[in-house]
Amino acid sequence: MKLRLIPLWLCVCAAAAAGIWLPHQRAEAAPDAGAARPAALQQLIDRTPSGGLLRLPAGSYEGPAVIARPIVIEGQSGAVVKNKDGSGKPAITVRADDVSLKGLQIEQDGEGASSDMPAVLVQGSGAWLHSLDIRTDAFGILLRDTGHNRIENNSVVRTGSGAAKLSERRNGIDLFNAHDNVISGNQVSSMNDGIYLESSHRNKVEANSVEHSRYGIHCMYTKGTVVRNNIGMYNVTGAMIMGVKEAEVSGNSFTKQSESVNSQGLLFFDVHNSKVTGNKVEGNRVGLYVEQSGSNDFANNDVLQNFVGVQFLESENNRFTGNRFIGNVIEAEANESESNAFSGNFWEAFRGLDSDGDGSSELSYTLNPFFQRLTGEVPAYQLFFQSPGMQFLESMYTSDREGWTKDVAPMMKPGTGPEQKPLSGAAGNTTLVFGLLLLLASISTIYYVGVRRI
């Protein structure tokens, strides 16, 4: 019996020596430390069976490579995939369904024929890309004609010259005709658009961070998109939502978008039947910009310390409730925007009258469109912003007053309405105490100076 098993064992040993991989077997690849060039990633992929695991130890691996069967590639710390200079191809192309990439550092040059090539191109469905460190002079991750992928916890950073124009940069994560994907927990820096979606529906863009780019998140011609709990800083615009229907934009924080005279925290153009709730836009040139958009709900957003809090242009039938405008130079501007329902918002600069103690003012708050209309026709007049003459002219302007946008029941205090959440901290109490101390110091100074003179 033992003699009969000897030929079988010899066959197994011969197969292993020849590099034939058994199904579902883990493949361990180690590049030759003494080799003149990195190991070819494509050869290692080709040797990995369908459903197998290719584990890449620390070292350098050469692209480009194409994945044509469902496998898992897992990079250990120090595993780097470098694309050939000027190859004109992505470093990694995923054509098969159900492929996973994890833990790789991927370097994609943007020279010559590779200037429009991504580090990773996904054409299959059901892919999982996570914990990738992508350094690129071109695109980061592209999804084309695909769906049901997860792009999670990756880093995409541009490695080219920081002085490059935005138009010369490419997008970090770019989707076209790609539906039902999850883009979550990624960090993108110094790209053109951080996360870009076009003609791609029902995607979830959650908990990502984008900085030093043009648009942090850019949605065009999408339906059912969810943009939730993202952070954007130092971009031209935090999120550009354009040609979109039935979107949810909630819980995001877009601060210090001031890289351009046209910078906005949140920009909505041709957006309809969407919900914009619980966002914070702070320290931007314009907090919320809404143009040619209708039938949207804006609720419980914090609009703080922007040059202009909210701008409405040619937008109708939007509902605006429970929002707070604090510390903005200009709280609101509205032009050619009728039939918008403003109610129950807090406007810091407004002095209302609450005769029945219900927390809302019996006096309405009207958004005067004079300055916006004047500077729209002659931009140079912005130099006279808040000058005594401009304020006088604004107070005299009453043309078509009945058509102006107004909050019919503004709140007397932030956080007193049913749709509003309380402000954190004790900023109001601190200001009061500081004012009382300053008054006490002034009285003491006057008293002692007066006594000495007598």
User: Could you report the per-residue pLDDT of 60-73, keeping only the tens digit for each?
Assistant: 999 999 999 999 99
Asked if residue 98 belongs to a domain, the reply is yes
Phi, psi of 346 (to 5 degrees): -105, 125
Shared domain check, 252 and 114: no
Cβ contact 361:351 at 8 Å: no
Cβ contact 284:256 at 8 Å: yes
pLDDT in tens, 182-226: 999 999 999 999 999 999 999 999 999 999 999 999 999 999 999
Shared domain check, 135 and 43: yes
Shared domain check, 111 and 223: no
Asked if residue 263 belongs to a domain, the reply is yes
Closest of 165, 216, 224, 219 to residue 193, by C-alpha: 216
pLDDT in tens, 103-157: 999 999 866 545 789 999 999 999 999 999 999 989 999 999 999 999 999 999 9
Asked if residue 411 belongs to a domain, the reply is yes
Please tell me the total count of domains within the chain.
2
Phi, psi of 87 (to 5 degrees): -70, -25
Whether pTM exceeds 0.85 = no
Q: Residues of 15-48 as b/e, b for ≥16 C-beta within 10 angstroms? A: eeeeeeeeeeeebebebeeeeeebbebbebbeeb
Closest of 359, 353, 341 to residue 406, by C-alpha: 341
Closest of 196, 398, 382, 188 to residue 286, by C-alpha: 382
- Alpha carbon separation from 412 to 126, 298, 304, 347, 359 (Å, rounded): 51, 19, 17, 8, 6
Asked if residue 439 belongs to a domain, the reply is no
Shared domain check, 143 and 180: yes
Kindly report the CATH number assigned to the domain that includes residue 63: 2.160.20.10
What does the pLDDT read at residue 116? Answer: 84
**Residue 450: which H helix or E strand, with range?**
helix 427-453
Cβ contact 410:361 at 8 Å: yes
The answer for residues whose C-beta is within 8 angstroms of residue 90's C-beta and 6 or more apart is 63, 64, 83, 108, 117, 118, 119, 120, 121, 142
Shared domain check, 153 and 239: no
DSSP letters spanning 345-392: -EETT-----SS-SSB-SS-EE---HHHHHHHH-GGGGGGTT-HHHHH
Closest of 287, 288, 262 to residue 274, by C-alpha: 288
Shared domain check, 260 and 338: yes
The answer for residues whose C-beta is within 8 angstroms of residue 10's C-beta and 6 or more apart is none
Shared domain check, 322 and 257: yes
Asked if residue 28 belongs to a domain, the reply is no
User: Given the structure tokens 């890449």, which residue do they identify?
Assistant: 56
Kindly report the CATH number assigned to the domain that includes residue 223: 2.160.20
Helix, strand or coil for residue 401?
A: helix
Q: Is the dihedral of CA 106, 112, 115, 118 positive or negative?
A: negative
CB atoms near residue 133 (< 10 Å): 17
pLDDT (tens, 9 = 90+) of the chain, 454 residues, equals 444 444 444 443 444 433 333 344 555 555 544 444 678 999 999 999 999 999 999 999 999 999 999 999 999 999 999 987 767 899 999 999 999 999 999 999 866 545 789 999 999 999 999 999 999 989 999 999 999 999 999 999 998 766 677 778 999 999 999 999 999 999 999 999 999 999 999 999 999 999 999 999 999 999 999 999 999 999 999 999 999 999 999 999 999 987 677 789 999 999 999 999 999 999 999 999 999 999 999 999 999 999 899 998 999 999 999 999 999 988 888 887 778 899 999 999 888 787 777 788 888 887 765 555 555 656 665 555 556 665 556 555 555 556 567 888 899 888 744 344 455 443 444 444 444 565 566 566 555 555 444 4
Strands (E) in 181-261, as ranges, are 182-184, 187-189, 193-198, 204-206, 209-211, 215-220, 226-228, 231-233, 237-245, 248-250, 253-255
Asked if residue 235 belongs to a domain, the reply is yes
Asked if residue 409 belongs to a domain, the reply is yes
Shared domain check, 108 and 143: yes
Shared domain check, 130 and 261: no
- Alpha carbon separation from 192 to 58, 137, 283, 307, 377 (Å, rounded): 31, 11, 21, 24, 30
Q: Can you give the residue range of the structural domain that contains 310?
A: 214-417
Asked if residue 10 belongs to a domain, the reply is no
Query: DSSP class of residue 294?
Result: B
What does the pLDDT read at residue 35? Answer: 47
Dihedral, 49, 52, 57, 62 alpha carbons, nearest 10: 40
Q: Residues of 369-382 as b/e, b for ≥16 C-beta within 10 angstroms? A: bbbbebbeeeeeee
Closest of 144, 207, 135 to residue 172, by C-alpha: 135
Helix, strand or coil for residue 443?
A: helix
Cβ contact 198:176 at 8 Å: yes
Shared domain check, 188 and 218: no
Shared domain check, 245 and 123: no
Cβ contact 89:110 at 8 Å: no
What does the pLDDT read at residue 339? Answer: 84
Shared domain check, 220 and 183: no
What does the pLDDT read at residue 448? Answer: 58
